Amino acid sequence: MSFIQSLEENIMITVLGMGIVFAVLIVLSIVILLFKYIKGDSQPNKPSEEMGQSNQEGQYLADEDVPVEDTNGEKDEELIAVISAAIAAYGAGDFKLRIRSIKKVGQVGSTWAMAGRNDIINSRI
């Protein structure tokens, strides 16, 4: 076997190996693209229906008129006033805003993620 023949064999093996790698990568990319169809998300996000609607005067109308209660079961009108004032100070726009319900949101992320966020916030103070 001459040097030329061995070089040709080595080049063919290299091209074959690279072809297999690229073919597998293409198959993987197609599978990843098909995940959005396989996932089966039956209801797409509709923020206008979930968040409520606004009437013609620009007032925000919640879906349910649920009073805010704290842990003791008492109505907390002061909390509604504070949150409304904060939103108005933030510049919510020219329309009137009426908050009808406030619900406590569960913990977002793990305890480690919350500790990391707290460290970042405290480092900027």
Tokens for 23?
Answer: 């073919």
pLDDT digits (tens, 9 = 90+) for 74-89: 567 777 778 777 877 7
pLDDT tens across 17-52, in order? Answer: 999 999 999 999 999 998 888 776 555 555 444 444
Cβ contact 89:70 at 8 Å? no
pTM to 2 decimal places: 0.33
Question: 60 has which bridge partners?
Answer: 54
Mean pLDDT value across the chain: 74
Size of the chain, expressed as the number of residues it contains? 125
Position 103 pLDDT exceeds 60: yes
Decide if 60 contacts 93 (C-beta within 8 A): no
Domain ranges across the chain: 1-42, 47-123
- Residue 112 C-beta-side C-alpha neighbours within 13 Å: 0
CA dihedral 68, 104, 63, 60 (to 10 degrees): 80
The widest CA-to-CA distance across the chain, in whole angstroms, is 93
CA 12 to chain centre: 47
